[in-house]
Structure 1
């Protein structure tokens, strides 16, 4: 089983969006038995909460369901348990590199490094913006998720 973890600040906007989008792509590709998807936040501000209502609404409008996702804080064991640990922004990337045991740091990468045009960039936090911010984030996440799934399939032969 290949395990993929998406990480943002509070696990209510960016990472649950990536979780829901990528999980849907994995399901539609018939790979749910091979790829496990999860998300978490670096903070515990929203533990147990659903994704932001604006994220859920944007997801619904695009055919995704985030209703089952609940915020959780990253656990030290996640660094060893997941094969791909994807930071939504460069701040998350730096924090996880500091927190992670050295032997797991090579698993941590910037999610948009899988985007065809946004390598090295951060997924902007839509929390304080308007609806367009959420739409833009969904566009980025969908595009990067397609590339990520292709990379995983190619690397693991599935």
Structure 2
């Protein structure tokens, strides 16, 4: 990833929550003029769906809000990711535990939660919509949109921004 800063979104199978987070953050970064400075990818802690497209329900919900997930394909987190990415964001505690267990001792990546910018009052975990109805996919989008805006604010506080021109 040839960007100034790189973010990896992580859930279990990389077909619902993390591809949604990747698509939303990527679009919001473009809107903020930061897409040339920040790279975004997604992966899963498990290899359940390697090579598959995101869940069609995630794609439909995202498409209704203007996010295109169609080019993404599921992959599993690898040791290399802990060197390639500056920030690795987990959807929930289960995936955070898995990330901490696979993290090499020399890793430079910071680990946090996708919803960390929302503070402690909203849930710190993105609920898994896989076994539920369409409302779950909309809730995931609501949470991730708000969190993405928070991450963009945080990136700007860290000094990642377009130079004044």
TM-score normalized by the length of structure 2: 0.90
Cα distance in structure 2, aligned partners of 1:155 and 1:137: 26
| Pair 1:132 & 2:141 matched | no
After superposition, the C-alpha distances for 1:10-65 in whole angstroms (9 at most, x for unaligned) are 00000000000000011111212100000000111111111000000001111111
CA distance 1:103–1:114, shift in 2 (3 Å): farther
| Pair 1:89 & 2:97 matched | no
The more displaced of 35-44 and 24-33 is 24-33
Q: CA deviation at 1:106?
A: 6.1
Gaps of 5+ in 2: none
Structure 2 partner of 1:70: 73
CA distance 1:144–1:118, shift in 2 (3 Å): farther
Structure 2 counterparts to residues 136-155 of structure 1, below 5 A:
136-155=139-158
Q: CA deviation at 1:105?
A: 7.2
Cα distance in structure 2, aligned partners of 1:89 and 1:104: 20
Higher helix residue share:
1
The more displaced of 24-33 and 51-60 is 24-33
| Pair 1:12 & 2:6 matched | no
Supply the RMSD in Å over aligned alpha carbons: 1.5
Gaps of 5+ in 1: none
CA distance 1:120–1:105, shift in 2 (3 Å): farther
TM-score normalized by the length of structure 1: 0.94
